[in-house]
A and B are shown apart, each in its own frame.
Chain A
Amino acid sequence: MTVLTGTDRATRANDAEPVTRRQINWGRVAAWTALVVLLIVTIFPFYWMLRTSLSNNRSLAAEAGSFLPADFTLGAFRRVLGLATTQEALAEGGSGASVNFWLYLRNSIIVATVVTVGQVFFCAMAAYSFARLRWPGRDRVFFVFLTALMVPPIFTTLPNFILIRDLGLLNTFAGIVLPTLLMTPFAIFFLRQFFLGLSREIEEAAMIDGAGHVRIFFRLIIPMSSAPITTLAILTYINAWNDYMWPLLVGQDESVRVLTVALGVFRSQTPQGSPDWAGLMAATLIAALPIVVLFAVLGRRVVNSIGFSAGK
């Protein structure tokens, strides 16, 4: 980052002067208008979530067209954080289910963190081996991996479920993280492509200095690839955080239930009943917060490294 000096500012001001005197630049106005419209279109759903989460469920339908919260209340957030009694929740048309929010948050963090650390680490090693080591059948094995990328995850759900059950790992963190802990074809493919582009000379120089593959991997490859690894880690974390189907199948127990699964209690309670919209929106907002923070902090990095270049 360069710091703007006084002269810089002065020259900019001088540049700007004639612009204001000139006629309005319609192209620029159109661009800004388009930008603002897009911004509103993007942000509006989030505003609507916030507005709904601050509403009383019983009044939502009657005030469907209002841009302000219907019958303002913090009840939905109290329900989500487990502060409301069943009676209070039902009085606002909410779900009376008890939500042990902090426990589920902890579980989500454990699952997402373990999956991210495990998957990125193991996939990096596998990708290195596919990109740099020479061993018999390497390309064939890689082809098999790529084929696995084509199999929709829903096909593996049942066999995985049976396997986890037979291993006695239902309702354990291990059962939830295992299928994605060691590798996903996408992560290996993603990193391999990057490793292929790293310059071989550096590696050869390290070998001449007596470094083995393990040392090269940890001391050279990983530091040189910190950008794509971070990207992959963030993507993995978000995926693991948002995963619903698998934890719903194997992690129903209170002690390992993750946030996404716990949010299910705000869906329809009875046949033909309507969901607890306010509670659902409040919970979704809170559950999305960690991801939003993650993006705010690391977003620039993600965008930068999507167009990653090898020689950085």
Chain B
Amino acid sequence: MRTSTRMAGALATVCALLAGAACGTDDAGGDSKDVEVFTWWADGGEKAGLDGLVAAFGTDCAEYKFVNGAIAGGAGSNAKQVLASRLSQADPPDTFQAHAGAELIDYINAGQIEDLSDEYQQWGLTNAFPKGLIDNLTVDGKIYSVPANIHRANVLWSNKSVLTAAGISKDATTLDGFFADLEKLKAKGVTPLALGKDWTQLMLFEVVLISDLGPAQFTGLWNGQTPWDSPEVAKAIDDYARLLTYTNKDTRDTFDWTDAEKLLIDGKAGYQLMGDWEAADLDAKQFTGYAFSTFPGNGTTFQWLADSFVLPKDAKNTEGTKCWLKTVGSAAGQKAFNTKKGSIPARTDADSADYPSYQQAAMADWKTQTQVPSCAHGAACSQGWQGALGSAMGKFSSDGDKAALRTALVAAAKQFVGK
């Protein structure tokens, strides 16, 4: 008897140590009214946006309770780690954040997320989102995620007074014109183009590819239609290498995007390429002397990325999750989220009067321009492909070896296209 009590005590201890493993029968799933939403939005504009979404969820889905499963840090890499292990234990959150587009392929191939095509019809999302976006979200005829927002990646930010001092009065619309402007800035002794590390370099390379290949061919790079060893891509590598000579050579591999942004704010740099979260950040830092334009040579191309939510396969509270997804896709939900996060709604029927000036311009473009996806932010390529290109960019930044970069680009496409 005494031994068995001791045994039970020991077992209880082991169970406590193995917290999370299935010990006993009472599953700590809690109330089925809970909807655990897993994101990496833990502070700043992202947190504010999430709070707005939660408020909308509270009104639309009053019978359910929002549970915040946010994991901070590492631009989402910490969250992805935790998510991967939870999914492999078949213990998913009720819904999780993922970049819309090719980044979802990993989850789709693994059979971890559910098809939402019927819900799209039911909620009228098929008509609310533009066709380009719908095409990009569709994998083998099915749609697996609901985008909460759209960010634009191919935006060139500038410090107005630095440009004026260098005698630049108009935004360049071609790469050649842009090189001429960069030369003027160089002569003034400022950093012409502020740049950060790996993924920010990949963003810059992508917009150069758009300029040299055009939107249709650029999109083809990611689905196997456009070869990576073409003369056009070689020209883009040349142009990119030339652009790098105008950047902060010493520090670019140590800088995050905010460090590069600081060069712009301090008047030490003329230009910076960055996604449009920069607008919200510049406003938050109360810097008003900035201007923006589409990256030279991109014409009417809108390079997008989106945060979206999914329905995991073994979600405990499927109905609650569906209510959350419906809120995310609804006009009210998108407004609550995007006015705070500095992004624009994925829906084309939103009223732009509710938004600040940058976002109004972006919303008009979103409706009319050619949409191409971004690889650096998971819309165009899978996580493995992103990693390979990120390190190829880092390597090129330090050794400048064009032939090696070309080989790496071709090898990455061969290995990752369609997966």
Do A and B come together as binding partners?
no
Chain A contacts to B: CB under 8 angstroms = none
